[in-house]
Amino acid sequence: MEFELSDEEQAFQAAVRKFGDKVLRPNERKIDSEGRIPPEVLQEMARLGLLAMPVPTEYGGLGGSAVLTELAAEEIGRGDFSMATAVFFLLEAGWGWTLSQHGTEEAKREILPPVCQGKAFLGIATTEPTGGSDLAHMRTTSTRTSDGFSVRGEKAFLSGVEEARTMGGGHLTLTKSTDGKGFNFLYVPTTAAGNSTQKFQNMGRMGISTGAITYSDTKVPRKYLLGEEGHGFDLALEGFTVARTFVSAACIGAAERALETGIAYIRERQAFGQPLGKFEGIQFEAVDLYAQIEAVKWQCRRAAWLLDKYTLAGDDSHRSEVVKAVASVKLTAPPVAFETVKRVMMWYGAAGYTKDVGLELGLRGVMSYMVGAEGGLNIMRIILGRELLGKEFVPYR
Ligand SMILES: Cc1cc2nc3c(=O)[nH]c(=O)nc-3n(C[C@H](O)[C@H](O)[C@H](O)COP(=O)(O)OP(=O)(O)OC[C@H]3O[C@@H](n4cnc5c(N)ncnc54)[C@H](O)[C@@H]3O)c2cc1C
């Protein structure tokens, strides 16, 4: 068992922390208030190889391991507390990797290089207005045509709809095949004829949009099909397993930053003639939060290590172990991050409620992972229940 990061991993982590401190932190309020990640920030991410990181170098990516990507996600979640940059980062990392594994050669050569250069956006479209958890009952359909598919239906709450519309790009879109033979996982360019988009007003992570796409006989060429026809469902689940690890990592980075901020504050802030940190009521909270963050951090790094050892290596033999590790950390990391930010906010008293201190950025951002993004907490429980008790106890997926 080796817990120490390699020299390469430590150097990369330090470079991304520097990017977080020098580029993300000074921009996070602007990202939140202007509702977009400035192009120069994305360009710097592209320069550092942070966009769609696990994508192989031949398609323009860094070919980064899951562990390296996890480390980067921690740092980006720490740097831009609003989580907007982390979401942009992890969607492209997870779904860029999925496309690089299961896309056609033509699609990979066309779609991935601009994504890795920050010139296009790549996201995921599974959720529909009628629900996102019960994916097997989705309604958006794909019908085979002479040269591809025709897509009809509606997806909702999709991250990056505006980015994909303005920068170029699209979403890996899960559809139900009308021939009754399963699900087709298709890359659908956002501006394809037949698509119309809508933007939602979110409460947080304002730097990346959330919206809906309606597909009215949208023609998708066959080259944009991932994997085999009818087999898209499992590919989407595999992509979620990868992306959820990076979601958790971003939450851990945000939690660490909140706790460090809080500890600095309670060392200085005086009440009843002594620093707040001398009151055990507060000191013990800080210690408990530290212990919880450490636990999920190593849980997360182990999940990434398992991804490298099996999923990213194309080895499905330990699927249950990987899925359990990822669902466990996606179940625990967002609540730990949310609780940390909330507690630290309370240590600050009234100041914690102001935008000057900025903890609300993190609270609003992390909340997105509590309510549902990349799968709600109860869905992680369902996944774990299925793995632990068996299909007869959890017959749906
Ligand atoms: C900011 C943000 C960004 C998002 N980005 C994307 C994106 O890019 N692409 C995309 O496809 N989706 C995206 N989503 C949607 C997200 O995937 C869904 O919110 C999630 O899958 C849950 O679906 P739902 O919101 O429809 O809730 P529902 O499926 O209606 O569930 C509602 C609640 O009930 C719980 N629940 C559901 N079933 C059960 C059950 N059997 N037992 C117990 N509890 C249950 C859920 O956990 C949830 O808390 C995003 C969401 C947010 C908030």
Taking only the tens place, the pLDDT of each residue in 319-362 is 999 999 999 999 999 999 999 999 999 999 999 999 999 999 99
> How far apart are the two ends of the chain, measured CA to CA in Å?
34
Q: Give dist(CA 94, CA 86) in Å, integer.
A: 12
Instruction: Tell whether ligand 1 has an atom less than 6 A from the beta carbon of residue 177.
Output: no
Query: In ligand 1, which atom is closest to the CA atom of 379?
Result: 47
Q: What is the pLDDT of residue 194?
A: 98
How remote is the CA of residue 381 from the centroid of ligand 1, in Å? 13
Q: Which CATH class is domain 122-226?
A: mainly beta
Burial class of residue 245 (count of CB atoms within 10 Å of its CB; 0-12, 13-18, 19+): buried
Strand runs labelled E in the chain: 121-125, 141-144, 148-159, 169-177, 183-189, 195-199, 210-221, 225-226, 270-271, 274-275
pLDDT band with cut points at 50, 70 and 90 for residue 177: very high
Instruction: Tell whether ligand 1 has an atom less than 6 A from the beta carbon of residue 385.
Output: no
How remote is the CA of residue 206 from the centroid of ligand 1, in Å? 19
Q: What is the pLDDT of residue 143?
A: 98
CATH 1.20.140.10 domain residues, the chain: 232-389
Q: Residues 98-116: pLDDT tens digits?
A: 999 999 999 999 999 999 9
- Dihedral angle, C-alpha 44, 312, 148, 137, nearest 10 °: -100
Instruction: Tell whether ligand 1 has an atom less than 6 A from the beta carbon of residue 375.
Output: yes
Residue closest by Cα to atom 45 of ligand 1: 378
φ and ψ at residue 199, rounded to 5 degrees: -105, 135
β-strand 148-159 against 210-221: which pairing, if any? antiparallel
> Smallest Cα–Cα separation from 102: which of 152, 138, 59?
59
Please state, as a whole number, how many other Cβ atoms lie within 10 Å of the Cβ of residue 335: 17
> Smallest Cα–Cα separation from 48: which of 4, 82, 79?
79
Q: Which amino acid is at 35?
A: G
Q: Which residues contact 118 (CB under 8 A, 6 or more apart)?
A: 39, 42, 43, 45, 46, 51
Query: In ligand 1, which atom is closest to the CA atom of 126?
Result: 11
CATH 2.40.110.10 domain residues, the chain: 122-226
Whether the predicted pLDDT of 388 surpasses 80: yes
Whether the predicted pLDDT of 396 surpasses 90: no
Residue closest by Cα to atom 49 of ligand 1: 376
Domain 232-389 homologous superfamily, CATH: Butyryl-CoA Dehydrogenase, subunit A, domain 3 (1.20.140.10)
Instruction: Tell whether ligand 1 has an atom less than 6 A from the beta carbon of residue 126.
Output: yes
Residue closest by Cα to atom 16 of ligand 1: 373
DSSP assignment of 275-286 equals EGGGSHHHHHHH
**CATH 2.40.30.10, applies to 7-121:** no
Cα-based distances in Å from 19 to 24, 176, 251, 375: 7, 41, 18, 29
